[in-house]
Structure 1
Amino acid sequence: MRKVDPAQYRAKRRHIMMAAAPLFAAHGLDGTSTARIREAAGVSSGTLFHYFPSKRAVFVALLTDDDNGDAQRLAAARDRDDPRSALLDLVEELAAPAASPVAAGLVMEALRQAGKDAELAAALEADSDLELEALTHLVSRSVREGGADPVLDARATAVWIQTIIGALFLRAATETGFDAPAQLRDLRLLLNRLLGGTGPRTER
């Protein structure tokens, strides 16, 4: 039996996922066939089903696979010396994909599918909880270390931040001419004002 190279396996799997992403963003899960995914990825049906048992599996992998090191990024942000700067940078990283029409479309389709797929909803909620935990931790540290207004409730503030990030994706997916770079700059400015405190102002 031929040995499978793990790196090659991951790369091929990733290739199929990236080929399918714009299809799901434009046509939704229900409107995307396995044939269209196969054609976009340039693979045979046998190859496609070797890596994914269904188109739903491709879609779920796009939303839940941690190929981009999301967990490591959250952990690194939590451990930075300056929690306020770490918080602002993390929010920018979480919101930045809204600049991509494909990413914004995938988020909207994920919300639609989660409403009728309990397993997907649970996976998305788990990812959201990890982000919320990291945001809460950084707000709490910022408050303790004088980098944020002491009256702020860390958990409530983190929830508001997540809500604002979600609103950016919604606007990116539904508004013609949405200016993502400008909105990301405004988001950083808004958070600086919201946090208050005596920490460094890193508006840019």
Structure 2
Amino acid sequence: MRTVDPDRHAARRGAIMAAAARCFSEKGFHRTSTADICAAAGISSGNLFHYFPSKQAIIVAIVDREAEEVVALFAGLREMEPLDGLSRFLDLILDLAADRAYVRLALEISAEASRDPAVAARVARGDGILQGALRDLLADAAASGAIDSALDPAAAAVWIGAVVDGLFNRVSLDSAFRPQDQGAMVHRLVMRFLAPAAGTVAP
């Protein structure tokens, strides 16, 4: 009986997902055919369907992989000083926003989530993981006195997420907008929102 090499299997899945992500970003999810994905990945259709039964399965896998990356990212951020972790998070968001292919893919996934309940469920799960991780980071910062302890960390995480969503939408709408030039503004916007009230003494 033929055995499956798990590392090779994961690598092939990853290569297919990367090829599909490029196609979805360039052509859109619905205008991308399985033939397009096969051509980009350099595989046959039979090989593609061995790893993924449908385009929907690929986009769900992309969402799930990003959720895993968020967990790993925030594990590292929470080892830093709270404000340093928040600052690093904002820098990473700005880096992602500067990648227009990534932004197009993110918005394409959001659009598909509005049409497909299965994709919507996985996107909601991933967003919940991100919101929960950001909430915990903000709670750490509040406990240390680095940010306003009167802020509800969960609500603050939602609003920071809304800023991120707005940033990505601005990139998609304005070809002249350069996120890499907006770092100081984004940091000021978020940090002023989170700043302790005047006269507050850190514990």
Kindly state the Cα deviation for residue 76 of structure 1 after the two structures are TM-superposed.
3.1
After TM superposition, the structure 1 = structure 2 runs for residues 134-145 of structure 1, keeping only pairs within 5 Å, are 134-145=133-144
3-state DSSP class of the match of 2:182? helix
Contact 2:135 2:157 in 1 (8 A): yes
Q: Which residue of 1 aligns with 2:88?
A: 89
Q: Which residue of 2 aligns with 1:53?
A: 53
- Compute the TM-score of the two structures, normalised by the length of structure 2: 0.87
Corresponding residue pairs, total = 197
Kindly state the Cα deviation for residue 139 of structure 1 after the two structures are TM-superposed.
1.7
Q: Which residue of 2 aligns with 1:133?
A: 132
Could you say what the CA RMSD is over the residues aligned between the two structures, in angstroms? Answer: 2.0
Structure 1: stretches of 5+ with no match in the other structure: 199-204
Kindly state the Cα deviation for residue 95 of structure 1 after the two structures are TM-superposed.
4.7
Q: Which residue of 1 aligns with 2:17?
A: 17
Structure 2: stretches of 5+ with no match in the other structure: 198-203
Contact 1:96 1:184 in 2 (8 A): no
Q: Which residue of 2 aligns with 1:176?
A: 175
Kindly state the Cα deviation for residue 96 of structure 1 after the two structures are TM-superposed.
2.9
Q: Which runs of 4+ in 1 moved over 4 A?
A: none
Using the alignment, how far apart are the partners of 1:43 and 1:119 within structure 2? 26
Contact 2:100 2:172 in 1 (8 A): yes
After TM superposition, the structure 1 = structure 2 runs for residues 14-163 of structure 1, keeping only pairs within 5 Å, are 14-66=14-66, 69-78=69-78, 80-163=79-162
Kindly state the Cα deviation for residue 94 of structure 1 after the two structures are TM-superposed.
4.1
- Judged with a 3 Å threshold, the aligned counterparts in structure 2 of structure 1 residues 3 and 67 are, in CA distance, closer, same or farther, namely farther
Using the alignment, how far apart are the partners of 1:184 and 1:59 within structure 2? 30
Kindly state the Cα deviation for residue 46 of structure 1 after the two structures are TM-superposed.
1.3
Using the alignment, how far apart are the partners of 1:2 and 1:82 within structure 2? 50
Using the alignment, how far apart are the partners of 1:22 and 1:174 within structure 2? 20
Cα deviation 1:135-164 (Å, max 9, x = unaligned): 222222222211012332322211110000
Using the alignment, how far apart are the partners of 1:184 and 1:22 within structure 2? 26
- Compute the TM-score of the two structures, normalised by the length of structure 1: 0.87
